Structure 1
Amino acid sequence: MRYLALFRGINVGGRNIVKMKELKELFLELGFSDVRSYIQSGNLLFSSDQAISEFSETVTAAFTERFGFSVPIIYRTKDELFSLIENLPFTAEEILEAEMEETNVEHLYVYFSSSEMVPQELSEIGERAIVKSKDIYYLTDRSIRFSKLTPKLNKLTDELTARNWKTVIKLAALLKE
């Protein structure tokens, strides 16, 4: 089965530096196959015959031992990622409207969690977030750096990591290969 591992908080702001080559090597040493990374922000694709529950603790321990710190690692199967994309709750019109406000920033994100959250919708002026199971769809009409909503999202669970929609789409394409 094809999986995606999303590492929270590595290679951000000069902290928790992990070379993707070394992360790929770790996964190969742990017996995973078809290991591939995408950009330096902690996205790793791999194959395994095991279920997430069978390998997640081993990966966490090996990562901590190898790199000297721990970070949340959030997993998705290929099918889960495709389903996430298919179930985008925002319309094309809503996305276009947000993009017109500030054209040089990303507007659509997904926050991934390893635990279930209460389904709900949250909003602030110019921002909307829709929580579904273990994912949060987030749409903003300005830079995420100015968000009043993301601090509230981060309180929903301890293990959230965000990726912009373009990255989510690229990761899905890489999982198809």
Structure 2
Amino acid sequence: MRYLAFFRGINVGGKNIVKMKELRELFTELGFVNVRSYIQSGNLLFTSDKELNELSKLVTDAFVKKFGFSVPIIYRTKSEMLSMVQSLPFTVEELAEVESSDSQIAHLYVYFSGKEIAEQELSYAGERAVVRSKNIYYLTEKSIRLSKLTSQLNRLSDELTARNWKTILKLVDLLNE
């Protein structure tokens, strides 16, 4: 099965530095194949015949042993990623409207959770979030760095990591290769 691992909190602000080459090598040593990383923020694609519970424990233990610290790792299968992209809850018009406010920043993100979250919608002055299962779709008119809503989102799960939509679409392309 083709998997995607999202590592939370590595290579951010000079902390928890992990070279992607070393992370790819670790996954290869663990017996995974077709291992590929995308950008430095901890996105790793790989193939395994192991079930998620088994490979999750294996990766977590090996990561701590190799790098000396632990971080949350959220997994998605190829089919989960395809479904997540197809289930985007925002219309083309909504996306165009927020993007027209500033085309230089990312306006659409998905927060990935390692556990189910109650379905709900949240909003705050130009920001909107839609929770669906283990994904939170987040749309903002301004930079995510100025968000008032993200602190609420981070309280929904202690296992969240976010990626912008451009990165997500690239990862889905890589999963389809």
Compute the displacement of 1:95 (Å). 0.5
Per the alignment, residue 57 of structure 1 pairs with 57
Count of residues in Structure 1 that have an aligned counterpart in Structure 2: 177
Deviations 1:107-144 (A, max 9, x none): 00000000000000000000000000000000000000
Compute the displacement of 1:54 (Å). 1.5
SS at match of 2:161: strand
- Output the TM-score relative to the length of structure 2: 0.99
Per the alignment, residue 7 of structure 1 pairs with 7
Rounded to whole Å, the distance in 1 between the matches of 2:28 and 2:152 is: 37
In structure 2, what residue type is equivalent to 1:133?
Answer: S
- Between the two proteins, what is the percent identity of the paired residues? 67
Per the alignment, residue 45 of structure 1 pairs with 45
Rounded to whole Å, the distance in 2 between the matches of 1:57 and 1:29 is: 15
- Output the TM-score relative to the length of structure 1: 0.99
Per the alignment, residue 106 of structure 2 pairs with 106
Q: What CA RMSD, in Å, does the superposition of the two structures yield over aligned residues?
A: 0.5
Unaligned runs of 5+ in 1: none
In structure 1, what residue type is equivalent to 2:15?
Answer: R
Compute the displacement of 1:57 (Å). 0.9
Report runs of 4+ in structure 1 exceeding 6 Å deviation: none
Q: What pairs up with 1:69-88 in 2 under 5 angstroms?
A: 69-88=69-88
Rounded to whole Å, the distance in 2 between the matches of 1:65 and 1:54 is: 17
- Say which is worse superposed, 99-108 or 159-168, in terms of deviation: 99-108
Per the alignment, residue 20 of structure 1 pairs with 20
